[in-house]
């Protein structure tokens, strides 16, 4: 493939944008080479400025669950645009979005919109601290909760990809308030809570980590976590920015029947526009200003364009059995991948839940970050570039998750399996 126009754009970008990108994982540092620059996207395909076409499994890192540029979203945004881009006062669409997500997510008694997943998790942490009067936070290694100072400690996603799990610029005193534990390890969690449980304001986690690859919770882990946090009076926060409205109508909490105290969302509910949301128990949410002492605000929170896009996307999913169809597409891809891998000599582990999937280049079962780090990165890099050359775009890092959209079909899945066969 020819990438000459992308290469020229990258050289220009590096002069005026740090690293030439506005989010680190886009730089392709983990896989080598230079990033391509998008020109447009439609359905299951992403097109670059050199007119190369790719079956897209990044889906803008999750939001494009219907595929790129779906008609329902374009129409909704166009209509909203005619009414104005931002108001600075409440709008009806904010209320409609709040009513919809609280109806879909049983754990949400109240919700507040914001502008990103990072804002949502940051607000959850502040709210948990304000509600409990405690300072310490527990997170799990490999779970990424955005670039929040107190949470960017042994994080996954871009921080892991670039080999710097602890970001510079975070005071040691602040990082000391965050305890990082291995995912899926109940004995360690129980020990820590016995020692400092009364000092812990919140436990935050991705209930299915999707920023260190895709890691599934072992049987009973989330249920016991809920029991232990309730026992110690700790706020349990589910970061469902990735999984919320993606793995099912009620996210991971709907699949497991677990009710967290607070939850963070983003991605799908914005229809491709910047968005975040957080919500949970009424008694906690009412600690937010203007009702309570915990301050949180945002000039563009509940932006009418984002609300229109998100509402249109959610309604389309609901009206057309979207989650059933996504599961069918995921199962079709999985069966093909597993058949393909059965004849390979190298070690691979394939994980999937609904429309999210990940191929680890290791023969070890992946239950936590340390397991994920046993992956053969050189083998993954070869695979990534092979897939790209064969017209399939997967995330440019072993430590990321792939997404399927409703625009993917049998044709795209066959093309993906052919590209895999040639790239592994």
* Residues annotated as catalytic (active site), given as ranges: 144, 239, 267
217 close to 186: Cβ distance less than 8 angstroms? no
What radius of gyration, in Å, describes the C-alpha atoms of the chain? 21
Closest CA to 19 of 30, 27, 28: 27
Max CA separation in the chain (angstroms) = 61
Count CB-CB contacts under 10 A for residue 329. Answer: 21
204 close to 138: Cβ distance less than 8 angstroms? yes
Q: How far apart are CA 53 and CA 50, in angstroms?
A: 9
| 175: Cβ contacts below 8 Å, ≥ 6 apart | 149, 150, 153, 166
274 close to 124: Cβ distance less than 8 angstroms? no
- For the packed helices 92-104 and 304-319, what is the interaxial angle rounded to 10 degrees? 40
Q: Which residues pair with 38 in a beta bridge?
A: 48
| 367: Cβ contacts below 8 Å, ≥ 6 apart | 183, 184, 215, 218
What does the buried/exposed string (b/e) look like for 344-369 if buried means 16 or more CB atoms within 10 Å of the residue's CB? eeeebbebbbbbbbbbbbbeeebbbb
Both ends of the chain: CA-CA distance in Å?
Answer: 19
Coil/strand/helix, residue 106: coil
Closest CA to 137 of 149, 125, 146, 127: 125
List the 45-48 sheet strands across, edge first.
Answer: 38-42, 45-48, 53-56, 392-393
**Residue in the structure block whose two tokens are 């107190």:** 150
Say what the alpha-carbon torsion angle 153, 159, 161, 162 is, to the nearest 10 degrees. -110
What does the block give as tokens for 256? 């497991």
Taking CA atoms, 114 is separated from 34, 99, 209, 278, in Å, by 33, 16, 22, 8
Coil/strand/helix, residue 243: coil
């Amino acid at each position: 493939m020819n990438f000459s126009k992308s290469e020229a754009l990258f050289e220009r970008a590096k002069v005026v944008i740090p690293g030439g990108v506005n989010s680190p994982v886009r730089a392709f540092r983990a896989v080598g080479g230079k990033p391509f620059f998008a020109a447009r996207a439609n359905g299951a395909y992403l097109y670059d400025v050199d007119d190369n076409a790719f079956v897209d499994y990044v889906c803008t890192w999750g939001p494009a669950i219907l595929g790129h540029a779906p008609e329902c979203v374009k129409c909704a945004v166009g209509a909203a645009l005619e009414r104005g881009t931002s108001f600075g006062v409440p709008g009806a669409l904010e209320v409609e979005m709040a009513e919809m997500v609280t109806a879909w997510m049983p754990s949400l008694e109240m919700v507040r919109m914001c502008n990103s997943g990072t804002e949502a998790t940051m607000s959850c942490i502040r709210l948990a601290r304000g509600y409990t009067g405690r300072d310490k936070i527990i997170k799990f290694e490999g779970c990424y909760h955005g670039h929040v100072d107190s949470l960017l400690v042994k994080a996954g996603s871009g921080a892991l990809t670039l080999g710097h799990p602890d970001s510079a610029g975070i005071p040691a005193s602040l990082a000391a308030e965050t305890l990082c534990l291995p995912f899926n390890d109940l004995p360690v969690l129980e020990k820590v809570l016995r020692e400092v449980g009364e000092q812990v304001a919140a436990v935050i986690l991705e209930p299915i980590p999707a920023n260190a690859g895709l890691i599934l919770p072992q049987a009973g882990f989330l249920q016991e976590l809920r029991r232990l946090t309730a026992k110690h009076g700790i706020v349990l926060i589910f970061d469902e920015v990735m999984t919320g409205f993606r793995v099912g109508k009620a996210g991971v909490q709907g699949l497991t029947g677990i009710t967290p105290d607070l939850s963070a969302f983003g991605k799908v509910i914005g229809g491709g526009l910047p968005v975040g949301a957080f919500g949970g128990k009424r008694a906690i949410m009412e600690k937010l200003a203007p009702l309570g002492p915990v301050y949180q605000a945002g000039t563009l929170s509940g932006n009418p364009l984002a609300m229109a896009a998100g509402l249109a996307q959610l309604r389309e999913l609901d009206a057309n059995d979207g989650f059933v169809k996504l599961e069918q597409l995921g199962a079709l891809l999985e069966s093909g991948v597993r058949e393909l891998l059965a004849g390979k000599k190298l070690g691979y582990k394939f994980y999937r839940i609904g429309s999210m999937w990940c191929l680890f280049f290791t023969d070890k079962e992946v239950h936590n970050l340390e397991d994920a780090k046993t992956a053969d990165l050189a083998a993954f890099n070869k695979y990534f570039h092979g897939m790209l050359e064969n017209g399939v775009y997967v995330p440019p890092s072993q430590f990321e998750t792939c997404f399927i959209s409703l625009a993917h079909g049998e044709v795209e899945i066959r093309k993906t399996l052919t590209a895999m066969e040639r790239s592994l």
